[in-house]
Structure 1
Amino acid sequence: MREFDRNNVLSKAINIETMVSILITVYFFPDRKAINMDFMSKLFNDEAASANYKRSVFMKCYPGTTSAMDNKIRRVFSIRNTFAHIGGFFVERPDSTVGHLNPNPLKSDVDLSKLEAELLGITPDIENYLTRLLRESGLPLIPSEDEVGES
């Protein structure tokens, strides 16, 4: 079994969740000079504001988002939850003397490296889409490396 990078999975998902929160904030406060951090921190830094709640609000604010993109975002958050709740216990497989981390004792066949690969395969599309929406909002963004190279 291939190793997986839990921190990378969580980091990618958190970045997407943050971009969704920023886009919702920009939607409600369209002053293009800055993000309303007071609103964002009070609304989204609350335990009741789950990633899927934010995704649901985002879809209402940006109805042009396709259901395929919504499903990708939903999947990233689902994979993130699996990795976030990995316990510190091992399951021994019958074909191996080495155990592996198992996030759910009821499902000993979870392949975390496969989930990581799935997440890494869909995050670029999501990041590109959310970045495009941020740029279209008029919010000043730090230029990408490609844009800096074009200067």
Structure 2
Amino acid sequence: MRRVVADPAFPPDPGGVLTIGSEQIEALAARRLTASHRRIAAYLREAAASDVGTASDTALHEHVVISDRVGRHLGLAGEAAQCRWALLMLLSQGRIAGHEPTRAYLAQDGDSPDGHLRRLFDLTIAAMGEARDARGPHR
């Protein structure tokens, strides 16, 4: 076991059972969400560099926050699904949020919205590869 010397700037140990209040839980949740949004923005900068272009961090953050809100409303829970959704929102300029066939697909039974979105991505990537192969080599 390792021991760490307490920082003298910390308040004294009150003793007793450790308690975490609702304010602390809310602060932790907010930090987790902020960190998630940063990772999603970094994913977009890498996966869609030409579409993100020189967008400011603030503009990209606003996109991620809106995308996250819409994604959660659609039932998306995991960060990977939120990354995929943010990319679709970016590439469609937000129009996918109102695309009823997509919304219905994500809501259908048989899998979670995250699973449906992963499947949609897999199918889209496969179709893009087939289209690229059909066009032949670039000249």
TM-score with structure 2 length normalisation? Answer: 0.28
Larger RCO, structure (CA 8 Å, separation 6 or more):
1
Larger radius of gyration: 2
Normalised by the length of structure 1, the TM-score is 0.26
When you count helix as a share of all residues, which structure comes out higher? Answer: 2
